[in-house]
Structure 1
Amino acid sequence: MRALSLSFRLAVLWCLALALPGCIDPYMPDAISTTKSYLVVDGFINSRGSTSIKLSRTFDIDAKTAPPIETRATLFIEEEGGTRYAVPETSVKGTYTSASLTLNPAKNYRLSIRTSAGLEYASTFVPVKTTPPIDAVTWRPSENGLTIYINTHDDTNTTKYYRWEYEETWEIKPPYYPQIEYKNGQMQDITVPFPTICWGNSNSSEIKISNTTRLTQDVVADFPLRALPITSDRLAYRYSILVKQYAQTAEEYIHWDLLKRNTENIGTLFDPLPTQLTGNVQCLNNAAELALGYVGAHSTEQKRIFISRTELPRNWRVTNGYENCVPPDTVFLKNTRLDGIAALLQSNFSSPLYLPIDVLYLPTGRVSGYLAKSNDCIDCRTRGTAVKPSFWP
């Protein structure tokens, strides 16, 4: 899942462009509260594999709901003067995915869209760019943390424009493994143990682009892709990053560069005003219906690396994200009458958000209480998945 999707970026930028320039005084113009909903196209034509396109709609900047998705649309990849390839909707509503394709690098392609409301859109025909392989993904520690770098080159000197995305995965190990559970009004040995390890996952949200137009060779050397602080809980045990590389045309690069500037440089009064970004998608049967997004055509290259805690400097105080979970709470039964214990257990453990961990005994063998903590401190599935990724060692 991307933390800041293209749909969200474009929707917010469109609303901001309508509202600015503005004043220091807070003001919500009518234009923002009555924003017209435009189509947002998120994705590219994959020339060597499956193409995945997400369709959504812009939304009011003060909206309390998620961006509306565009379902039941009909999508095709079209070769200029040639074949059409279907891009059907998947079980994930608003996401459309084609079969694995190998497109002709000597041809131009575009994406055509017909919505359920009968609106027809098409991107401009674009040439296919062949992405060169990633030479290396490296990392180096410093006094501030860890930086991950990308290295690539094109011997033909024709790529020039690059964009990257990445997907992070890391191990999560909770501090507690309950031995007991509160069930049917009483404490008993746990029947279904909680997982002892989970895996967190996150997609890149920043726009990472670079070009080599001012260099004599088409070489990208040590481009800083991701920085993690020393205290990052993603480095607590084992961390992995999958880097995806895309070659771009100059026009597509300019689009992403403008999007990057608009999303990163609107923090102060003196930053450049947002540009009304649209892209290369137009509505064919209604000129008033705008579309946001740029659909390029290129192949994808990717490379994965792993980083273990044992590879990092020993003096780093890496956290695991559970610092506030230690020590556990104690629910004492001291001075509780036998007929009141059931009520005490009910009041403490009837909620699934607060769980017992283990039993505390007096020297006499009598139960004196229970260790307990919140569900988030015990069940690592609140922070990730217990399903081991297929690529994990």
Structure 2
Amino acid sequence: MKGKRYILILLLLGGIYTTCKKPYNPKIVDAPNHYLVVEGVINNGSDSTIVRLSKTVNISGNVSTSGVDNCTVSVEAEGGAAYTLNPQGSGLYAVPSLSLDAAKKYRLHILTGDSKEYASDYVEVKKTQPIDSIGFLVKNNALQLYTNTHDASNSTRYYRWSFDETWRFHAKYQSSYMVDQQAKMVIARPPSESSYYCFASDKSTTIVIGSSAKLTQDVIFQQPLTTIAAESEKIEMRYTILLKQYALTKEAYQFWENLKKNTEQLGSIFDAQPSQLTGNIHNLKDAAEPVIGYISVTNIQSKRVFIDNADVPKDWVAKYPYDCAAPDTALFFNPKTRQDDVLSIIINGTAIPVDAITQQNSVIGYTYSSIECTDCRIRGRVPTPSYWKER
């Protein structure tokens, strides 16, 4: 009886939960708020200072964020000179190398096309130390990339990193032929239409920060950067990472730490609770308006390394992203079907010819596959990047 009583109680509770459950749509989700987002670093070095302006979008909306153009953007010294950033389109603004006075403080000033005025707090110029090294560990059937750095003067303490990745990959099958649509015939694929080897690139999408504030020495050892799975195409042939290192103030570090918690570490009851993001950029005429972003002033240190497939375990095999069966066969005339397979499947169809089928020194047809399995250009580019180096 006791067991039946428990079951009855659970059923009643379940019914109450089901009938009381209502969708929760807070007003803030649908509110027409589009806050300014400012991304970038004032670069006191040989590289350009590049700032991107955009607007937030509602979670419930189906519009993607886009750049904010028609703005006047400048770097201003406290009580001194100003340097104007030139518009590049799509919300990007840039100025060539700046040589700033480390004894002064600087801010970013923004005047929008609708006469709104924004500015960051004046912040000190931080000096970023060089990157000591970039390495990797084979861990949990993946490649764990890390970096090492230090500051002998013990004055940096707070760091952030971003990176660009590039890798060489190839299509599943090498197509030696293509269709000349004007002549309506299959021809040998010229070098200008090469489609087997390609390069792909990506940028870091996570926030990578580190601190030595609790250490006696300002040393960062094996700071994790990114993980590459054993079956990833990134390390099938050759891979390179360009790492950029930024020195932060304590306040900037706290901003990036909160942003990381809010965007990457939420989802379970054990994760950090969301918190208000407080950047250092403000609407000068409306202090209550939220502005997303934090402007730092520092030189940027960078380092590039290459990793070859020979550097990873031999039993790692890359997984091709498409389901590619063995190439099929198309004949010029198929007696069984009484039709020209090459004409219907390849020339007037969507199949890509792979290799010629010969009989008594005459081409009688071609093997073929899909564009996904034969043309790397649908997700990469053929030209070799200027920074690429072979082993």
Q: Specify the TM-score bucket, using the shorter chain as the normaliser.
A: 0.7 to 0.9
Match of residue 194 from structure 2 = 194
Look up the SS of the partner of 2:255 in the other structure: helix
1:94-173 correspondence to structure 2 within 5 Å? 94-142=91-139, 144-173=141-170
Look up the SS of the partner of 1:64 in the other structure: coil
Flag the structure with larger Rg.
2
Look up the SS of the partner of 1:376 in the other structure: helix
1:311-330 correspondence to structure 2 within 5 Å? 311-314=311-314, 316-319=315-318, 321=320, 324-330=323-329
Cα deviation for residue 328 of structure 1 reads 1.9
Structure-2 separation of matches of 1:27 and 1:370: 58
Cα deviation for residue 318 of structure 1 reads 2.4
The two structures, once aligned, show a CA RMSD in angstroms of 2.3
Match of residue 74 from structure 2 = 76
Between the aligned residues of both structures, percent identity stands at: 36
Q: Over residues 30-89 of structure 1, what are the superposed CA-to-partner deviations in whole Å (9 max), with x where a residue is unaligned?
A: 321233111100111111131100000011112223203201110000000100001111
1:347 to 1:237, Cα distance in 2 relative to 1, 3 A? closer
**Cα contact 1:174–1:322 (8 A) shared by 2:** no
More divergent stretch after superposition (285-294 vs 40-49): 285-294
Structure-2 separation of matches of 1:169 and 1:366: 39
1:85 to 1:170, Cα distance in 2 relative to 1, 3 A? same
Cα deviation for residue 100 of structure 1 reads 1.0
Match of residue 6 from structure 1 = none
**Cα contact 1:163–1:247 (8 A) shared by 2:** yes
Cα deviation for residue 173 of structure 1 reads 1.7
Cα deviation for residue 330 of structure 1 reads 2.8
Look up the SS of the partner of 1:259 in the other structure: helix
Q: How many residues align?
A: 365
Are 2:86 and 1:88 equivalent residues in the alignment? yes
Q: Over residues 97-122 of structure 1, what are the superposed CA-to-partner deviations in whole Å (9 max), with x where a residue is unaligned?
A: 11211111111000000011110000
Structure-2 separation of matches of 1:222 and 1:303: 15
Are 2:389 and 1:383 equivalent residues in the alignment? no
Match of residue 217 from structure 1 = 217
1:233 maps to amino acid: E
Are 2:330 and 1:331 equivalent residues in the alignment? yes
**Cα contact 2:243–2:304 (8 A) shared by 1:** yes
1:246 maps to amino acid: Y
Taking structure 1 as the reference length, what is the TM-score of the superposition? 0.86
**Cα contact 2:66–2:91 (8 A) shared by 1:** no
1:87 maps to amino acid: L
Cα deviation for residue 322 of structure 1 reads 5.6
Taking structure 2 as the reference length, what is the TM-score of the superposition? 0.86
**Cα contact 2:236–2:309 (8 A) shared by 1:** yes
Cα deviation for residue 320 of structure 1 reads 5.4
Structure-1 separation of matches of 2:162 and 2:348: 44
Give the alignment partner of residue 61 of structure 1, picking from 59, 62, 74: 59
Which protein, 1 or 2, shows the higher relative CO under an 8 Å CA cutoff with sep ≥ 6?
1
**Cα contact 1:255–1:279 (8 A) shared by 2:** yes
Q: Unpaired segments of 5 or more residues in structure 2?
A: 1-19
Match of residue 275 from structure 1 = 275
2:291 maps to amino acid: A
Cα deviation for residue 349 of structure 1 reads 4.5
